[in-house]
Amino acid sequence: MTECLDKFAAELEKTHAGLTVKTNYAGTQELKIQVEQGAARDVFVSASGSHRKDLVDEGHVTDPKVLAHNKLCVATDKQGGKVKPLADLAKKGVRLVVATPDCPAGKYTRKCWKKIGAAQGFGPAVVAGINRNVVSQALNVKLVLSKVVLGEADACFVYASDVLEQDVNVIELPESIQVQATYLVGLGKKGASPKGAREYVATLLGETGVKMLRESGLVVPRAEEP
């Protein structure tokens, strides 16, 4: 998502004279704290429905809309020596990295594990092995993926859009254990540029934004989806 939003910001600045876009990326749980502590944000993009709901309920974010959907996958080192079928994640000696439980990617990952525990061909023993093999937890999905890219881990759970053009192997998850991640976009209540924020969101949800989102591997919802 970050690469997509960077490209979108550059395009928006070219087509909207006088508009400057400054971005601040972090795990949604970190961004939520920043906003609650008074940081002014014109636009808020979140992969967590619960964090977004808190900010809406607290009056920090208004007019939230579904932006796009993503899904999980497992990324492994390019050699793919230790992890080939998904069940290998539970094998002794596999180094697994995941996002922290309060990070949206971490929440989606643990929802996936619950499905693995109940799925035919996997079960509780596989989930127990996966938990034992977690050697590190990171605050956002980019840090998670970097551990595998740098050879510091054998595998990780990340968003499917994050592995595009990355030097890793990808194991797709079967639908029986897949979890859909949803990104939402809303307006910051105390933003410094309300007009610019509305232009940003309208363009992001319009033809230009939809094209970029799809090119980044994200699924854009139907226009009628709330």
Per residue in 85-128, pLDDT tens? 999 999 999 999 999 998 889 999 999 999 999 998 899 999 99
The whole domain housing 103 covers 71-172
Model pTM? 0.84
Going by their DSSP bridges, the two strands 155-159 and 169-172 should be labelled as: unpaired
- Residue 47 resides in a domain: yes
- Beta-bridged to residue 75, according to DSSP, are 156, 170
Closest CA to 53 of 186, 226, 192: 186
| Average of per-residue pLDDT across 70-93 | 90
Q: CA-to-CA distance for 170 and 84, rounded, in angstroms?
A: 9
Do 62 and 10 belong to one domain?
yes
pLDDT at 40: 80
Q: CA-to-CA distance for 222 and 120, rounded, in angstroms?
A: 32
CB–CB of 69/219 below 8 Å?
yes
Do 11 and 102 belong to one domain?
no
Q: Which of 62-76, 157-171, 187-201 has the lowest mean pLDDT?
A: 187-201
CATH number of the domain to which 118 belongs: 3.40.190.10
The structural domain count of the chain equals 2
Do 26 and 107 belong to one domain?
no
pLDDT at 225: 46
- Residue 120 resides in a domain: yes
- Residue 19 resides in a domain: yes
The two three-digit tokens of residue 83, written as one number: 């992890």
Q: CA-to-CA distance for 117 and 111, rounded, in angstroms?
A: 10
Do 52 and 111 belong to one domain?
no
Enclosing H/E stretch for 67: strand 61-76
| Average of per-residue pLDDT across 24-37 | 84
- Residue 155 resides in a domain: yes
Do 166 and 78 belong to one domain?
yes
Do 48 and 91 belong to one domain?
no
pLDDT at 194: 86
